[in-house]
Amino acid sequence: LFFYIPSFFSQKYPPVKFLSEKDRKRILITGGAGFVGSHLTDKLMMDGHEVTVVDNFFTGRKRNVEHWIGHENFELINHDVVEPLYIEVDQIYHLASPASPPNYMYNPIKTLKTNTIGTLNMLGLAKRVGARLLLASTSEVYGDPEVHPQNEEYWGHVNPIGPRACYDEGKRVAETMCYAYMKQEGVEVRVARIFNTFGSRMHMNDGRVVSNFILQALQGEPLTVYGTGSQTRAFQYVSDLVNGLVLLMNSNISSPVNLGNPEEHTILEFARLIKSLVVSQSQIQFLSEAQDDPQRRRPDIRKARMMLGWEPVVPLEEGLNKTIQYFSRELEHQANNQYIPKPKAARMKKGRPRHN
């Protein structure tokens, strides 16, 4: 019996590729226990690299990466990036930062510290050990844009003292820091401007359209649409984003690159599609039109297409099915723990609800 135990244990991890010493990299992922970071962890682990996840578990959870704990190529460190970190790595994916409005507005000072001091610490580490750093920036650096769609040349339109400034300005200065370290210290940097992303392990009550509608449909509650529902949104599936991040990291493009899905759908299309995929009895409920609800949000990804050969490939319906499956398992799991999250009302801006 003893003889069989090793082979039993060797099967408990997802299969990983074997990489020679030369091709195998030591990779740090800050925020690696979060939504995007945990999928990136999966990809880099399965590609055969050594992955160290650093996370303070503010919005991330151990459960997102638990399937790797104990693997010889994997390490999980409970650490806050606001404190310096000394490890030896070849590449740093710097994702640590709360990402959705309720999360980054919960403690704006901490959001600022994470994006400023945290980014300085990671750039300092990159400089010391000669690692390349990729910053997970955001489309929010464009603020409330005056041009559509936004390309990387656009400088943005951000209110420096508004409620979202802790995040928007935090990411803007994080980008500035990357280029200061590049010019002054020769650190190799990559900057991904990430647009709306969805998929399994996303936060269920982050107040965004996709998560709201899926939760409402699964719980038999009305899907709430503000106005006529003709406003459009564009979402990329998380596996597309992760492929883009890895391509960008290993490219020679040091200037910012948009990563997002330019395929627009109206809010009403999202509501109808999600309702039909969940096979839900929920009604679609129209509420009064929201003030400042942007009519369109769409990335310009010509640069990523041309220079990385990257574009999103996962069809919306396929991504939604996977996300619905995840949400419904989560609801079961949480029901067993006596906690059922209700979707939050759409984000408030100037006192009126709107779609995120």
Ligand X SMILES: *[C@@H]1O[C@H](CO)[C@@H](O)[C@H](O)[C@H]1NC(C)=O
Ligand Y SMILES: NC(=O)c1ccc[n+]([C@@H]2O[C@H](COP(=O)([O-])OP(=O)(O)OC[C@H]3O[C@@H](n4cnc5c(N)ncnc54)[C@H](O)[C@@H]3O)[C@@H](O)[C@H]2O)c1
Q: Tokens 């919306």 map to which residue?
A: 316
277 binds, among ligand X, ligand Y, none (CB under 5 to 8 A by kind): ligand X
**Residue 105, interface with ligand X (CB under 6 A)?**
no
CA pair distance 320, 318, nearest whole angstrom: 5
For residue 104, the minimal CB distance to ligand Y (Å) is: 8
**Residue 93, interface with ligand Y (CB under 6 A)?**
no
Per-residue binding letters, 280-319, with ligand Y (x by CB under 6 A): ----------------------------------------
CA pair distance 77, 56, nearest whole angstrom: 8
**Residue 317, interface with ligand X (CB under 6 A)?**
yes
Judged by beta carbon, residue 176 or residue 321, the one nearer ligand X is 321
Q: In sequence order, what are the residues at sequence separation of 6 or more whose Cβ sits closer than 8 angstroms to the Cβ of residue 51?
A: 27, 29, 32, 41, 44, 45, 68, 73, 74, 75
**Residue 80, interface with ligand Y (CB under 6 A)?**
yes
Judged by beta carbon, residue 280 or residue 320, the one nearer ligand Y is 320
Q: What tokens appear for 58 in the block?
A: 């503010």
318 binds, among ligand X, ligand Y, none (CB under 5 to 8 A by kind): ligand X
Strand partners, 285: 224
Judged by beta carbon, residue 58 or residue 74, the one nearer ligand Y is 58
Number of residues that bind ligand X (CB under 6 A): 5
Among 116, 196, 200, 231, binds ligand Y (CB under 6 A): 196
**Residue 88, interface with ligand X (CB under 6 A)?**
no
Among 41, 52, 59, 280, binds ligand Y (CB under 6 A): 59
> Which residue stretches of the chain are H helix?
5-10, 35-46, 101-106, 108-129, 165-185, 209-218, 238-249, 267-278, 302-308, 316-336
167 annotated active-site: yes
User: How many Cβ atoms are within 10 Å of 14's Cβ, its own excluded?
Assistant: 11
**Residue 146, interface with ligand X (CB under 6 A)?**
no
Judged by beta carbon, residue 83 or residue 317, the one nearer ligand X is 317
From 112, 110, 57, 50, select the one nearest 79 (Cα to Cα): 57
Q: CB of 222 within 8 A of CB of 286?
A: no
Backbone phi, psi, residue 134, to 5°? -110, 125
Judged by beta carbon, residue 83 or residue 318, the one nearer ligand X is 318
Stretch touching ligand X by CB under 6 A, among 11-19, 174-182, 237-245, 317-325: 317-325
- Pairing between strand 91-94 and 26-30? parallel
Subset of residues 167 to 186 that bind ligand X, contact rule: CB under 6 A = none
Q: What tokens appear for 237 in the block?
A: 């599936």
Q: CB of 36 within 8 A of CB of 241?
A: yes
Helix axes 267-278, 316-336, angle to 10 degrees: 60
Among 105, 117, 277, 284, binds ligand X (CB under 6 A): 277
Judged by beta carbon, residue 30 or residue 323, the one nearer ligand Y is 30
Instruction: List residues binding ligand Y (CB under 6 A).
Output: 30-31, 33-37, 55-60, 80-82, 95-99, 103, 114, 118, 136, 138, 194, 196-197
Name the residues annotated as catalytic. 167
Instruction: List residues binding ligand X (CB under 6 A).
Output: 252, 277, 317-318, 321
